[in-house]
Homo-oligomer: A and B are copies of this chain.
Amino acid sequence: MKRIISLKELAERTAGLASGHRACAGCSFPSIIRMVLGSSDYPVVVSNATGCLEVVSTIYPYSSWPCSWIHVAFENAAAVISGVESAYKALKRRGEIPQDKKIVFIAIGGDGGTYDIGLQALSGALERGHDFLYLLYDNQAYMNTGIQRSSATPFGASTTTSPAGKYLFGKVQDRKEIIEIVAAHRIPYVAQASISHWGDLIKKLRKAYEIEGPKFLSVIAPCVIGWGYKESETVEIARLAVETCFWPLYEIEKGVYRVNYKPKEKLPVKAWLLKQERFSHLNGREDLIEEIQKRVDEKWEKLLRLDGLKVF
């Protein structure tokens, strides 16, 4: 295991990184990008799906990417990176690139580009077994087009297409369990992380960069606009998602589950929900809050049961 890189070290490493971006004040992307790139000891090639992160990170003259990248269409990040990776393998076989030159291939997609329109491309790339990291930044809705529901949007959240009101209490369906769906592909490494727990996130990134084959990392990425909270609270919102066990930090490495963080005191999910405008209509709807709490509890307990077990 590689040592965990310290925040100071990371700051130094990323000193060279262009710091420009045009995200909304308080957006969680800048730190995500910084950690993704800063944690790699190897050159990185990125394929980026359409979405907020791609837009805000590649606008002239504010680009955050000091590496080669291709900005693809919405559903194709995994397919394009598969092509790039296979091409490099061929170039190595043909001796046009040295055999020992390691490059890290990363496909980046939002929740819409991953859970929904990009799911098939992701599944295909996992099945073929390419050597790449799929990085999902999960802001739980289609933010770039103005906050529509995705299948990552939590039960009860209000979006413009699951509007809380007379007919609905927000989204009716539960979120897809993307980690479980990906894990069912039995790839070497699947993990869930949060920007609030950067040490854990960097550790996971660095682990992923060393493993051969497909890797999948899902990072919660709170969105000021879409979730509705104060600009300064981004990290706190992410932290609460973890502390309430709505967003457990865990990983499945070669089939073995490991819960990476167990809150000393598991906070009620309400503490997270009611800090966000998108759940504000739940205020007073104790029935729904209870339902949400129940679902969180069930999943958390299931996770604790699996902790340490090898499932494939």
Q: What is the interface of chain A, defined by CB distance below 8 A to chain B?
A: 116-117, 119-120, 123-124, 127-129, 151, 173-174, 176-177, 180-181, 183-186, 298, 302, 311-312
- Known A-B contacts A181-B181, A185-B181; the reply to A176 vs B302 at CB < 8 A is no
| Chain B residues with CB below 8 A from A116, complex form | 120, 124
| Chain B residues with CB below 8 A from A311, complex form | 302
Determine if A151 and B177 form an interchain contact, defined as CB atoms under 8 angstroms apart. Answer: no
Determine if B185 and A127 form an interchain contact, defined as CB atoms under 8 angstroms apart. Answer: no
Chain B's closest residue to A175 (CB) is: B127
Within the complex, which residue of B120, B181, B312 is in contact with A302, where a contact is CB–CB below 8 Å?
B312
Q: How far is the CA of A186 from the CA of B128 in the complex (A)?
A: 25
| Chain B residues with CB below 8 A from A183, complex form | 184
Determine if B181 and A176 form an interchain contact, defined as CB atoms under 8 angstroms apart. Answer: no
Name the distance in Å between A53's Cβ and chain B's nearest Cβ.
21
Determine if B176 and A127 form an interchain contact, defined as CB atoms under 8 angstroms apart. Answer: yes
| Chain B residues with CB below 8 A from A180, complex form | 184
| Chain B residues with CB below 8 A from A177, complex form | 184-186
| Chain B residues with CB below 8 A from A176, complex form | 123, 127, 185
Name the distance in Å between A167's Cβ and chain B's nearest Cβ.
12
- Known A-B contacts A119-B123, A120-B120, A124-B116; the reply to A129 vs B181 at CB < 8 A is no
Within the complex, which residue of B124, B128, B184 is in contact with A181, where a contact is CB–CB below 8 Å?
B184
Q: How far is the CA of A181 from the CA of B181 in the complex (A)?
A: 5
| Chain B residues with CB below 8 A from A128, complex form | 173
- Known A-B contacts A119-B119, A302-B312, A311-B302; the reply to A127 vs B181 at CB < 8 A is no
| Chain B residues with CB below 8 A from A127, complex form | 151, 173, 176
Name the distance in Å between A39's Cβ and chain B's nearest Cβ.
28
Name the distance in Å between A206's Cβ and chain B's nearest Cβ.
27
Name the distance in Å between A80's Cβ and chain B's nearest Cβ.
17
Q: How far is the CA of A190 from the CA of B123 in the complex (A)?
A: 19
Name the distance in Å between A108's Cβ and chain B's nearest Cβ.
19
- Having A119-B123, A176-B185, one finds 15 other A-B pairs with CB under 8 Å, namely A116-B120, A116-B124, A117-B120, A120-B120, A123-B181, A124-B151, A127-B151, A127-B176, A128-B173, A129-B173, A177-B184, A177-B185, A183-B184, A184-B184, A302-B311
Name the distance in Å between A114's Cβ and chain B's nearest Cβ.
11
Q: How far is the CA of A151 from the CA of B186 in the complex (A)?
A: 13
Q: How far is the CA of A177 from the CA of B176 in the complex (A)?
A: 17
